[in-house]
Amino acid sequence: MLIELRGRTALVSGASRGIGRAIALALAEAGADVALTARNPSDLELVAGQVRARGVRAVALACDITQAGQVSRLPGDLEANFGPIDILVNNAGYAESHKFLGHPDELWQRHLEVNLTGTFRMCKAFAPSMVARRWGRIINIASVAGKVGGRYTAAYTASKHGVLGLTRTLALELAPHDITVNAICPGYVDTSMTAQTIRNIVERTGRSEQEARAVLEGLNPQQRLIAPEEVAAVVVLLASEVARGINGQAINLDGGQVMD
């Protein structure tokens, strides 16, 4: 089945690398015009060029989603120069581990600000236009950590649980306006963020990098890390008209690690 998104306009946060980059390119391949946001404008422009090479429009706007003023200005900036957003992909995220005893308050707040409050702000900014046009797709990139607990990840796990609660509530409230809201819950994905996790394991345990990577791969029954392109493929499906009946779901993408 070929999914066609031509005529739709998408916004991807955290689009400068990893999962966000893969999502932006996949949406472009399906024909959508793509707006990209992240904090680093030079990295964003590189991805925007790759999006344009696929024959669609792209715009890159630097934005820190922890700054309410920057987020609130995004819809106006985009509508003036690019058009209203049909598909919002909240991918920007933050992850750092720490044992609970002695957990720094600032680390807790950072996770909530980026992963949960940032997602809330983006939804709040772009949902009104979708309601007015009676069509929209909101796709939140969460984590299997949003469904289960994990040692040394109190802040990250709590923030991703919050994303799932927000997803389900918005799905109910926005359904009458022909808007769907879903989350994708990947396991460990082969990105620079996971590479940092591997380095942390090496530093704290004395294991080799290969052994540390094997620990994360072993959490997946398929004995591997998820590829960013796999997450992107699910985003494209959820963004399509074919998926209009999928709403309020938290879709695992982890090789069977969590069956819930």
pLDDT of residue 200: 87
For 150, the token pair is: 């994990």
In terms of Cα–Cα distance, which of 21, 78, 10 is closest to 50?
21
pLDDT of residue 113: 98
Q: Which residues contact 133 (CB under 8 A, 6 or more apart)?
A: 84, 86
Active site residue 156: yes
Measured between alpha carbons, how far is 188 from 193 in angstroms, rounded to an integer?
Answer: 9
Measured between alpha carbons, how far is 192 from 251 in angstroms, rounded to an integer?
Answer: 23
pLDDT of residue 5: 98
Element (H, E) at 107: helix 105-111
Rounded (5°) CA angle 127-114-252: 75
Q: How many CA atoms lie within 13 A of 237 on its CB side?
A: 14
Backbone angles phi, psi at 12, to 5 degrees: -120, 120
- CA distances to 30, 61, 87, 109, 163 from 97, rounded to whole Å, are 36, 29, 31, 13, 18
Kind of pairing between the strands at 87-90 and 9-13: parallel
3-state helix, strand, coil in the chain (%, to 5): 50, 15, 35
pLDDT of residue 102: 97
pLDDT, averaged per 10 consecutive residues of the chain (260 residues), comes to: 92 97 98 96 94 98 96 95 96 94 97 98 98 98 96 96 98 98 97 90 90 93 97 98 97 94
pLDDT of residue 42: 87
pLDDT of residue 105: 98
Active-site pick, 94, 152, 156, 188? 156
pLDDT of residue 228: 97
- Helix, strand or coil, per DSSP, at residue 226: strand
pLDDT of residue 40: 87
- Helix, strand or coil, per DSSP, at residue 129: helix
Q: Give the domains, in start order, of the chain with CATH numbers.
A: 9-187+227-242 (3.40.50.720), 189-225 (no CATH)
pLDDT of residue 15: 97
- CA distances to 49, 87, 175 from 93, rounded to whole Å, are 23, 18, 26
pLDDT of residue 146: 97
- CA distances to 28, 34, 61, 158, 186 from 11, rounded to whole Å, are 11, 6, 10, 25, 20
In terms of Cα–Cα distance, which of 119, 141, 94 is closest to 251?
141
The model's pTM is: 0.96
Measured between alpha carbons, how far is 180 from 177 in angstroms, rounded to an integer?
Answer: 9
